[in-house]
Amino acid sequence: MAASKEVKSLLKSARSALDREDYPEAIKQCQAIFWHDDTHYLAHVLCGKAHLLLKEIGEARHQYRIAITSNEKEILAWKGLADLYDKYSPGDKDEKLVAIKTYSYILNTVTGDGEKEFNLYCKLAPLYVDVGQLEKTQWQLIEGSYKSFLSSLTETKRIEIQTLFISSCMEWIKLVEDEEVIDSLLKTVQEECEILESKESQETLLQLEIWKCLKGTVSSPDSCEGWFVSCVCHMKAHNYEVVINNAWKGLEALGSLPCFIRRQVTCSFHLLLIEAQLLEGNHKQEALTLCEKLYSESCDCHVIKLYVKALIANGMIHEAEGIINDKASSLNEEKGILNELKGHLFVARGNFDQAHDNFQLAINECSQLSEYHYWAGYTDWYNGNRTKSYPSLVKAGQLDSYNPAVFNMLGRYQRYVANDINRAVKCYKKAFTINPGLTEAGISLGECLSALGEEESAYEVYVKITENSPPTEVAAMQQLIGLLSEAVASYTRVLELQDDYVPALKGNGGIVENCRAESYYKLSLLAINNVLDSKAVSYVSLALIDLSKAVKLKPSFISLWKLIGDSCLSLYGIAETVARVSVPSELLGN
């Protein structure tokens, strides 16, 4: 009992000595305790601290280790040893392994304190590198430090960092070849997206599924199931060209399936293929041919729906109406389809009022289908109710954030109704990013960027359009960005293949006529500005020759007649002796 009292007194003296920074005295008091109990935990901790403050590193380390050996579960000695390694880096490999063990033990005791956890992970990483164990612990370190770092942030900053982390992981997945690392990254991204629960994270999950399917079909090209799932994923992402290619590959791989389900799977592939062909727009006749075959074999409402759409896409309005009337009972089997098809029929006839009413009825029957909301907004826009179109388009975007047509229409609204060029840029950019083949969105994006003074960015957009566009649109793009001589050359190549071509590009919700003659006209203006009068006259002559052919083919195009007038008027300031132009006979008297 007396010994116990004496030990308590000595401990008190040791603490007091430490407080007044008399470290030798503190060590002396601790050594006195060891005469009574050479494994006394607190005495060794205090003694270790005193030696550390005297910079006697070896002795401090020794005292902390004795304390840990006597009671491994107590935290004080571990913290003392960690403090030592914070101030004095461990030397050899064995000492570094002890440091790793020390920091790891403390890490297990500070769960919930994000900042402390993150700091400990930052200390562990270089130690694992030094001892050659980083490879087997890197993902544990990355994940642990990332999660602890997140927990120390505000909600807004946390979401920002998580979104950035997910984006980085998606980039890593494309670059890494190690299967284990890829699997680890896939799991991490999936978990993060599920935690985040934002619209962007759902888009990432879709990208992830597409990537997995692509990876699977590349490694097993004969997997019919893989190609089918890949088609479904790409359809959700509106990658229609990819769906078309993969559907054909899937049909080629049908031999891997049992005979009894081959017919059903073939039909499923054909339905996906037809839908993609119709939406992509360049395979309408092929889609109709395939639809006719399916329609002759099946009365399924989805087959009827696609057949009607294929007929409308190919201008066969009367035939489409006949099928809608004949098969109304079959089409009513699934909510919304009958009214949707009636809506498309009215759109084809230019009756946007009636079309809107039908799409609204379809929405009442099936409110969670993005396509119906898009068409309701589309018909409002072309019916002159541009302000009313906005809520429908926003809803369509919320239900399907991968539909480029929706964001192209939203871009129009922001540009022409809300007069918000910055938001218009965001909408057009998203539409063009999803589908680089959507020329209208690309042109509008370039025009908006130019309006904001971002000429370099606009130029990059126009260049990208030319990479994904047919020759006619390449020529128009070159003309738009001022590459007039190149545009003339491109138009010439097109005219060599198609002599009756009068170019037209959709844009701004209307039609914008662009032709080689306009490039000649603009070149004539440049020549006049540079006092090259003879060259200007030559350009105007060439423009009038082209325009005479164009108005013969399209006499109702007012812009062509305006361009004729502008071309002639441009020579007004040139001397009469120079400004002599042969006017084609087709233009005389008009």
Distance between CA atoms of 432 and 426, rounded to whole angstroms? 10
Q: How many CA atoms lie within 13 A of 278 on its CB side?
A: 22
Phi, psi angles (nearest 5°) of residue 314: -95, 15
Taking the C-alpha atoms of residue 452 and residue 138, their distance in angstroms, rounded to an integer, is 45
Helix (H, G, I), strand (E, B) or coil at 531: coil
Tell me if 575 is assigned to some domain.
Answer: yes
How far CA 263 is from CA of 286, 300, 302, 306, in Å, comes to 20, 14, 16, 19
Cα separation, 560 vs 502, in Å, equals: 10
| Burial of residue 303 (number of CB atoms within 10 Å: 0-12, 13-18, 19+) | buried
How far is residue 561's CA from residue 547's CA, in Å, rounded to a whole number? 8
Cα torsion angle, 466, 469, 475, 479, sign? negative
Which residues make Cβ contacts (< 8 Å) with residue 87, sequence separation at least 6?
A: 52
Rounded CA-CA distance 100/446 in Å is 55
What CA–CA distance (Å, rounded) separates 177 from 397? Answer: 35
The reply to whether 299 falls in a domain is no
Position 106 scores a pLDDT of 78
Q: Which of 339, 340, 294, 288 minimizes the C-alpha distance to 310?
A: 288
Name residues whose C-beta falls within 8 Å of residue 321's C-beta, 6 or more positions apart in sequence. Answer: 345
489 torsion bin: left (phi>0), alpha (psi -120 to 50), beta (else) = alpha
Question: Could you tell me the residue range of the domain that residue 543 belongs to?
Answer: 470-587
Which of 356, 264, 278 is closest to 312 using CA atoms? 278
Core vs surface per residue 488-518: b (16+ CB within 10 A) or e:
bebbeebbeeeeebbbbbebeeeeebbbbbb
Mean pLDDT, the chain cut into blocks of 10 residues (590 residues total): 73 86 87 84 88 86 86 84 82 80 78 66 71 61 55 55 58 58 61 52 48 47 66 77 82 66 74 84 84 79 84 88 80 78 88 90 88 92 89 90 90 93 93 84 87 83 72 64 67 61 38 55 68 73 76 72 79 68 65
Q: Which of 117, 91, 93 is nearest to 106 (CA)?
A: 117
CATH number for 484: 1.25.40.10
Q: Which two tokens stand for residue 11?
A: 């401990």
Q: Which residues pair with 504 in a beta bridge?
A: 513
- Residue 300: inside a domain: no
Among the listed residues 364, 383, 363, the one whose alpha carbon sits nearest the alpha carbon of residue 372: 363
The per-residue pLDDT for 495 is 63
Question: Sign of torsion, CA 340 345 346 352?
Answer: positive
Question: Residue 572 has which token pair?
Answer: 């007004």
269 near 249, Cβ under 8 Å? no
- Using CA atoms, how far residue 336 sits from 274, 303, 402, 522, in Å, is 20, 15, 22, 51
Residue 476 amino acid letter: A
The Cβ-side half-sphere exposure at 305, using a 13 Å CA radius, reads 19
> Domain count of the chain?
1
On whether residue 553 sits in a domain, the answer given is yes
> What single letter denotes the amino acid at residue 115?
E
Residue 126: which of 70, 163, 85 has the closest Cα? 85
Asked whether residue 377 is assigned to any structural domain, the reply reads no
Task: Tell me the pTM.
Answer: 0.54
Q: How far apart are CA 65 and CA 60, in angstroms?
A: 9
Cα–Cα dist 560/549, whole Å:
10
- DSSP-derived letter for residue 512 is E
Number of neighbouring beta carbons within 10 Å of residue 580: 10
Tell me if residue 509 falls in helix, strand or coil: coil
- Nearest-angstrom CA–CA distance, 67 and 44: 6
Residue 519 falls inside a structural domain: yes
Following CA atoms 288, 291, 292, 293 in sequence, which dihedral angle do they give, to the nearest 10 degrees?
130
Whole-angstrom CA distances from 224 to 59, 185, 213, 268, 291 are 70, 27, 11, 12, 22
Do the domain assignments include residue 112? no
The DSSP bridge partners found for residue 506 are 511
Exposure of 295 in the CB half-sphere (CA atoms within 13 A): 19
Q: Are 539 and 525 in contact (CB under 8 A)?
A: no
The type of residue at 222 is D
Q: Measured in whole angstroms, how far is the alpha carbon of residue 514 from the centre of its chain?
A: 32
Is residue 147 situated within a structural domain? no
Half-sphere exposure for 198 (CA within 13 Å, toward CB): 12
Task: Give the integer Cα–Cα distance in Å for 436 and 273.
Answer: 20
Tokens coding 206: 């879709």
Contact yes or no for 567/521 (Cβ under 8 A): yes
Between the two ends of the chain, the Cα-to-Cα distance in Å is 126
Cα gap 420→320, rounded to integer Å: 40
Q: What is the pLDDT of residue 317?
A: 87
CA–chain centroid gap for 511, Å, is 30
For residues 85 and 98, give the distance between their C-alpha atoms in angstroms, rounded to a whole number: 10
Distance separating alpha carbons of residues 198 and 18, to the nearest angstrom: 54
